[in-house]
Amino acid sequence: MTVRIGVIGVGMIGQDHIRRLTQVLAGSDVVAVADTDAARARDVAGGLAGATAYATGEELVAAPEVDAVLVCSWGPSHEQYVTAAIRAGKWVFCEKPLATTEQACLNILDAEVSHGKRLVQVGFMRRYDPAYRALKASIDGGEIGAPLIFHSGHRNASVPSHYTADMAIVDTAVHDIDVARWLLDDEVVETMVVTPRKSGRGGPLQDPLLIMLRMRGGAIVNIETSVNIAYGYDIRGEVVGETGTVELAESATVLVKRQGVVNARVPEDWRERFIRAYDIELQDWVDNCRRGTCGGPSSWDGYAATVVTDAGLAAAKSGGWAPATLRDKPMIYG
């Protein structure tokens, strides 16, 4: 079976996923696209054999030739497209965020629960990164005892001019929040945001930030976001346990030792660092669609991440701890 996919939102990430689905991965075909920029949608469809450009995402979801939907549109539009796909009984992969408000996430949860089974996978690609998977295997295997502290670092060389202070939490740290929940197999109960000395490279932006998470089981997570650090895109991670530590290795595949200096490449951006994770993630989604199942990060994971980022925004304003309160977890999410 070839999964016939419709892509809603054909900006940078949408087009990158189309390239991945049509040139790298197996078992799928992109048969439809939609975008608020109709001309761009037509241009992208014109480069795909037999693909149709639809005027709206809802029309794409309803199209009989579409088996599964890939949502890569603007975050505030995710709810309408994901719920439309659920109502149509179609598999849907939604790039993060699941939705931009807690209520919108709850609406998606309610729609999926009413449908009676999972249809939605959320794009938290770090769970598919081989290095993070090795980190989790070490924790789950008991190699360092019970995890007590997770240090997570998210560093960008620079960010675009439209990047705001809130985005450090809702767009950048959201990945660290999700991976903390996954690595520790636990939920966040409260968060606090600390502002260190401000970098001179960030203009008016408060950069860096230190975001603290207290987990239900008592572990503490600290997330450093440094988004104007100049030297490259660098993702750090170390878990401190009762009997040892485990951390992500450097991402460079080789070290060059020459004239008394050791050199290693630092990735330029997220696409370079996580290209393999994106490939594995989407191939897993396609394979699950072919089997008639749904795996990977769920709508619950997307909802939990949004609740925690909202708490982070509240904590940044108050200067204290802010609670992250979740509804009861529906049974379909395990």
> What was the pLDDT predicted at 143?
97
Q: What is the CATH number of domain 127-270+305-333?
A: 3.30.360.10
How far apart are the C-alpha atoms of 154 and 65, rounded to whole Å? 40
CA 164 to chain centre: 19
Helix (H, G, I), strand (E, B) or coil at 30: strand
| Cβ neighbours, 10 Å, residue 16 | 15
In one-letter notation, the amino acid at residue 102 is E
- Mean pLDDT in consecutive groups of 10 residues from the start of the chain, 334 residues: 96 96 97 97 96 98 98 97 98 97 98 98 98 98 98 96 93 97 98 96 93 98 97 97 97 92 94 96 98 97 98 97 98 94
What's the burial of 142, exposed, middle or buried (CB within 10 Å: 0-12/13-18/19+)?
exposed
Neighbours of 35 (CB within 10 A): 26
Whole-model pTM over 0.85: yes
CATH architecture of 3-122: 3-Layer(aba) Sandwich (3.40)
Q: How far is the C-alpha of 304 from the C-alpha of 87, rounded, in Å?
A: 22
Report the pLDDT value the prediction gives residue 1, as an integer from 0 to 100.
Answer: 85
Domain coordinates of the chain in residue numbers?
3-122, 127-270+305-333
